Structure formats: C-alpha cells, structure tokens
Amino acid sequence: MIGKIKLIDENGLRVDGRKPGELRPVKMEVGVLKNADGSAYVEQGNTRVLAAVYGPREIHPKHLTLPDRAILRTRYHMVPYSTDERKSPAPTRREIELSKVIREALESVIFVELYPRTTIDVFIEVIQADAGTRTAGLMAASLALADAGIPMRDLIAAVAVGKVNGTLVLDINQVEDEFGEADMPIAMMPNLGEIVLLQLNGVLTEEEFYEALKLAQKGIVQLYEIEKQALMRKYCLG
C-alpha cells in the first residue's frame, strides 16, 4: 500500500497544495514565557512547538558536575493532545531517542566550555504534531538559547525532506511522512555551513540523497532568515 497512495496530483502539487520545493507557512516568536530564562515558539503548518531554556545554573544532583564545561540536559516531549489519538504523557522510546539526538545537535553549537560546573536545561514541548517536530524543536531550542543569552557558534535551522510517489519534497507533513518512501530530517548551522543532525528513514539513491540535501539547504536558508527576524523583533525594534 505504501507508495501507492496518491501524494502528488496531476499538476505536480502535494496533498496540501504545495509545490515540491515549498515550505509550510512558518511563524516564530521569541520570549514567549515569562518564567524561563529563554523561550521560543515555532509553528510550521500544523506542527507547533514550544521551547524553554533554564541556565546556566547549578546542577542537582551535584555529582553530574563537569569541571571544564556546562552539561546540557534536553527533554523532547509530546503533550497528550498533540497527536490525533491521545498519547501517553510518559516518555516513549521515541521521545528518549529524540531528546538524545537533539542534545547532541545542540551541544555542537553551544560554547559549553564557557560555563564549567553548571547545567543548561532545554525543554521542548510539542503541542501539536504534524511531522517535522524534531526539526521545529531544534529551531525553537536554538532561538530559546539565544533568548537566554547563551553564546552559540550559530543558530540551528532545520527541515525534513521526503520522497513521495518518487518525488523529493521539502518540509513533509504527517501524511507524507507516513505514506511516503523516505524522510530525512536535516539540521544545520547555516552560516558555518555545518550539518549538526542528519537522519534518514527509508531508502534514497545516492543521487537522490544529494538532491534532497540541496533541497533541504534551500529551505534552511529561508528558515534561518525567519529565525533572525524573530530575534530582531524582540531585540532590535522598539
């Protein structure tokens, strides 16, 4: 059945009317929570994610302390009402894995060596899921870290590319994720041109892989601009 569902129509458009290389409508806002040191909200189509950052602050329990750098603790969590069927609030294996890959990506951007013996805690709450939650979560987290004033090499901009009915498409939604042939989330430090996360679920030929990478980079450049605008709206205007 998979691959036989019509995800591209006779005009070459996708189930939500987008062209293959088009992003979903994006909204980003920085500083949305009063009680966190930094926070951000990212909306990509029907995917909605909130990130909150605390720290650098003292670590409890103390034995986790590192003498030469801050530790980073990351929690990716989907709230029970974020999916079509109620999700258990308990952390699933998927959420545990995503918390880990998100932490590893964030660790490569933050100057953790500037804050020895402290922790930086990042909470990502998916409040509505329609695919691309790890990539939206990474962008929300990097904006929240910037909002908390934590020095970073660059912001992270991220998007998932998919293959549906043989066509490579940018920024997949849940139907495309579920019934497509492949999905590949990619996160980058756009200004430095470095990839901080790349995962592939499904099969792509070598040629398709490089094509998908190019498509993702096209989306990442656009998302990076929207991130910078969100930061400027809070810090440069008024």
Residue that the structure tokens 């980003």 belong to: 28
- What burial class does residue 198 get, using C-beta atoms within 10 Å of its C-beta: 0-12 exposed, 13-18 middle, 19+ buried? middle
Subset of 157-196 contacting ligand ADP (CB under 6 A): 160, 174, 177, 185
Closest Cα partner for 40 from 190, 128, 111, 144?
Answer: 144
Minimum CB distance to ligand ADP, residue 95 (Å): 9
Among 83, 108, 167, 217, binds ligand ADP (CB under 6 A): 83
Q: Which is nearer to ligand ADP, 130 or 208 (CB)?
A: 130
Radius of gyration of the chain (CA): 18
d(CA 202, CA 200): 6
Stretch that binds ligand ADP, among 69-77, 81-89, 151-159, 210-218 (CB under 6 A): 81-89
Please answer whether residues 29 and 230 qualify as being in contact, where contact means their C-beta atoms are separated by less than 8 angstroms.
yes
DSSP 8-state secondary structure symbol assigned to residue 53: E
* Site string (123-142) toward ligand ADP, x via CB under 6 A: ------xxxxxx--------
Minimum CB distance to ligand ADP, residue 60 (Å): 30
Minimum CB distance to ligand ADP, residue 140 (Å): 13
Q: Binders of ligand ADP: how many residues, by CB under 6 A?
A: 14
Subset of 90-119 contacting ligand ADP (CB under 6 A): 94
DSSP 8-state secondary structure symbol assigned to residue 8: B
Minimum CB distance to ligand ADP, residue 85 (Å): 6
Beta strand pairing call for 119-128 and 71-78: parallel
d(CA 212, CA 203): 12
Q: Which is nearer to ligand ADP, 112 or 188 (CB)?
A: 188
Residues at the contact surface with ligand ADP, assessed by CB under 6 A: 83, 85, 87, 94, 129-134, 160, 174, 177, 185
